């Protein structure tokens, strides 16, 4: 039976939830259902939507929001934060190493082919160190829980982690609808994330920057599924939202077209993938990037966040080596554990996975969003057989993991509350120091028994509370 974060096995509320449970017990269920509909109305009016690529109905959709918060104690959060910081620092050191001395490869801790044959490894970054030595300016670390004090990292999002706008809007909506709850519970703030993000990015402006650094958010445009978030963050930070067509290289600097002519951009928070960033360096057919920006970057005249080439940290085959990576660069065992992982590129692992498909979750190495995966226990015999054929034809493209019994948190349903599986994406800012936002985005599988929390697969979100001690 899954570990429920709110209610213990004997039916009593766990300590972090005691105040909330007292409040919930005093509420009229019909009033709470009305509040839930009010929250949906707020989200619709605000325009918090996303699009799902490849669906026949590609219209903008609301991410379902559940009004019962997920609550984490101060003690639990401290352990999580220590583990996240250790991991993020190790990832940054790993990136610096593989683009310079490659000591971890020479030490035999990671196979050379895993790096050099990886599509996300950019030879253009070899020998170049970004301003401040920071590669991963913004990281979203996906974490799951299986029991009391038992947390595992599911994956590291070190390229362009999304979802932070939902974290912020979830909190604002909850504070608007339930101000009494925030008076009765000492909940740590997440609202200052945009200000912290702007300051963190400005701290890493290139050395030649004169005066106050100018920061901009680069978006692929209005047809991108996360466009709402791009415009939201630019607005909240008080910086420009730009597309590639708004920028050009002039006199060795990236400049933005304004009513006063072209003005220099010092820091570019890009939400455009590496391949599309510079048509002169990567894909020549890209209309989303800025021709010549990589030359400006390598000359040290602009900061790009996150740095090109960080996508290798999102690779699930690299993920399987994270315990070794953490130990190699920090000299300590990982505080947060990986989910046990079989690399299908290894013959013995492939054999095991094929023999135990009904018990495992199999994922594409470069996959995301819950796509391209097999959840063995819920798949049909026919689906498993078809996936086995894929595995045999391209074993290096997959990893496999056991189906963990993810923790549950109650959601509001018509009959009261019901447990649903959740994960957590805390957001980390890296500049002159590491700042971890207390909480993050809790994603919840709204279907009974489902382990898939992605919004594109029917999941929802919750406000995440980290309590002060």
Q: Do 67 and 96 reside in the same domain of the chain?
A: yes
Q: Let me know if residue 221 belongs to a domain.
A: no
Q: Please identify, among 358, 382, 402, the residue that sits at the C-terminal boundary of a domain.
A: 402
Q: What is the mean predicted confidence (pLDDT) over 177-190?
A: 96
Q: Does residue 69 sit within a domain?
A: yes
Per-residue pLDDT tens over the stretch 2-26: 999 999 999 999 999 999 999 999 9
Domain endpoint, select from 370, 402, 434: 402
How far, in Å, CA of 312 to CA of 157, rounded? Answer: 10
Give a yes or no: residue 279 inside a domain.
Answer: no
Check whether residue 163 and residue 95 sit in a common domain.
yes
43 and 61 in a single domain? The answer is: yes
| pLDDT score recorded for residue 260 | 87
Determine the average pLDDT of the residues in 27-35. Answer: 95
Q: Where are the beta strands (DSSP E) in 95-234?
A: 138-147, 150-157, 215-218
Give the list of residues 6+ apart from residue 279 with CB closer than 8 angstroms, or none: 285, 286, 287, 289, 291
- Say whether both 384 and 418 belong to one domain: no
Question: Which of 402, 437, 455 is at the close of a domain?
Answer: 402
Are 356 and 454 found together in one domain?
A: no
Query: Given this model, what pLDDT does residue 451 score?
Result: 77
Confidence check: pLDDT of 283 > 70? yes
Q: What average pLDDT does range 234-251 have in this prediction?
A: 96
Contacts for 437 with CB less than 8 Å, ≥ 6 apart: 167, 190, 193, 196, 426, 427, 428, 429
Domain that residue 382 falls in: 341-402
| Residues whose CB is less than 8 angstroms from the CB of residue 60 and which lie 6 or more positions away in sequence, other chains included | 49, 50, 51
> What are the pLDDT digits (tens) for 284-295?
999 999 999 999
- Are residue 124 and residue 38 in the same domain, yes or no? yes
Residue 265 has pLDDT above 60, yes or no: yes
- Is residue 24 domain-resident? yes
Number of domains observed in the structure of the chain: 2
Same-domain pairing of 347 and 447: no
CATH (domain of 376)? 3.30.1490.270
316: its two tokens: 């699930």
Looking at the structure, do residues 85 and 200 belong to the same domain, yes or no?
Answer: yes
Residue 107 shares a structural domain with residue 126: yes
Structural domain contains residue 240: no
233 within a domain of the structure (yes/no): no
Whether 40 is covered by a domain: the verdict is: yes
Q: Which of 69, 63, 67 is nearest to 37 (CA)?
A: 67
Is pTM beyond 0.85 here?
yes
pLDDT at 376 over 90: no
Domain match, 412 and 397 both: no
First-to-final CA distance of the chain:
30
Q: What is the DSSP string of 354-383?
A: HHTGGGEEEEETT--TT-S-EEGGGS-HHH
Q: Judge if 48 and 133 occupy the same domain.
A: yes
The verdict on residue 297 lying in a domain is: no
Could you tell me if 32 and 176 lie in one domain?
yes
Residue 124 clears pLDDT 60, i.e. is over it: yes
Q: For the residues 382-409, what does the mean pLDDT come to? A: 92
């Amino acid at each position: 039976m899954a570990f429920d974060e709110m209610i213990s096995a004997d039916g009593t509320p766990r300590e972090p939830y005691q105040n909330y449970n007292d409040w919930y017990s005093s509420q009229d269920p019909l009033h709470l259902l009305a509040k839930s509909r009010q929250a949906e109305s707020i989200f619709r009016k605000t325009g918090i939507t996303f699009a799902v690529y490849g669906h026949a109905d590609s219209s903008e959709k609301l991410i379902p929001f559940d009004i019962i918060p997920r609550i984490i104690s101060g003690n639990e959060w401290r352990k999580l934060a220590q583990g996240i910081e250790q991991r993020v620092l190790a990832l940054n050191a790993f990136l610096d190493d593989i683009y310079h001395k490659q000591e971890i490869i020479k030490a035999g801790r990671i196979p050379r082919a895993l790096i050099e044959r990886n599509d996300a490894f950019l030879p253009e970054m070899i020998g170049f160190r970004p301003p401040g030595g920071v590669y991963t300016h913004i990281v979203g670390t996906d974490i799951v829980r299986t029991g009391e004090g038992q947390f595992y990292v599911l994956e590291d999002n070190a390229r362009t982690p999304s979802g932070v706008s939902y974290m912020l809007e979830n909190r604002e909506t909850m504070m608007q609808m339930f101000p009494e709850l925030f008076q009765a519970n000492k909940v740590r703030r997440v609202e200052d994330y945009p200000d912290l993000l702007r300051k963190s990015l400005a701290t890493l402006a290139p050395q030649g920057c004169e005066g106050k650094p100018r920061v901009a958010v680069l978006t692929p445009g209005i047809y991108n599924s996360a466009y709402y978030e791009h415009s939201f963050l630019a607005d909240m930070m008080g910086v420009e939202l730009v597309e590639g067509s708004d920028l050009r290289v002039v006199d060795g600097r990236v400049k933005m077209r304004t009513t006063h002519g072209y003005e220099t951009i010092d820091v570019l928070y890009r939400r455009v993938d590496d391949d599309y960033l510079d048509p002169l360096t990567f894909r020549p057919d890209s209309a989303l990037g800025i021709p010549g920006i990589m030359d400006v970057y390598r000359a040290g005249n602009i900061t790009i966040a996150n740095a090109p080439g960080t996508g290798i940290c999102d690779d699930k085959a690299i993920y399987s080596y994270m315990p070794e990576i953490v130990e190699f660069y920090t000299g300590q065992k990982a505080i947060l554990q990986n989910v046990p992982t079989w690399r299908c590129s290894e013959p013995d692992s492939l054999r095991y996975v094929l023999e135990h498909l009904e018990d495992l979750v199999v994922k594409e190495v470069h996959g995301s969003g819950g796509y391209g995966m097999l959840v063995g226990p819920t798949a049909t015999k026919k689906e498993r057989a078809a996936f086995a054929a894929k595995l045999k034809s391209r074993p290096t493209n997959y990893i496999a993991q056991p189906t963990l019994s993810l923790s549950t948190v109650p959601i509001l349903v018509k009959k009261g509350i019901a447990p649903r599986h959740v994960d957590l994406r805390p957001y980390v800012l890296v500049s002159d120091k590491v700042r971890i936002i207390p909480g993050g985005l809790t994603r919840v599988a709204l279907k009974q028994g489902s382990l898939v929390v992605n919004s594109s697969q029917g999941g929802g979100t919750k406000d995440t509370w980290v309590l002060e001690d």
